[in-house]
Amino acid sequence: MTQLGLLARIEARPEYADKVEDLLRGALQLARQEEHTVTWFAFRQGPTTFGVFDTFDDEEGRQGHLRGRIAAALTEAAATMLSEAPDIRPVDLLAVKLP
């Protein structure tokens, strides 16, 4: 059962907002390749504020995702495209509805 998640808040530098959007759109292909990532959502909350929410069946999957290619791409982007390091927080899911 999907019971664990990650919620990330990503703040882009204004001049890089479009590039951060492109990075997140492109990361969908990486998320599809992750065997233990159950769901993955990238979203935009404002002109420079983005986020990612993803879910996992177990802690092994969540930790694997944190060591994966998407996290590495965000870490690499942080130095130039982000105004601060991504704020990534683990969450415990209380209720889930999936198709």
Digit-coded pLDDT (tens) for 85-98: 999 999 999 999 88
Q: Which CATH class is domain 13-42+56-91?
A: alpha beta
Question: Residue 31: is its pLDDT beyond 80?
Answer: yes
The pLDDT of residue 70 is 94
The pLDDT of residue 99 is 84
The pLDDT of residue 2 is 87
Q: Look up the pTM and report it.
A: 0.92
How is the chain split into domains, by residue range? 13-42+56-91
Distance CA 20, CA 52 (A): 12
Distance CA 48, CA 74 (A): 15
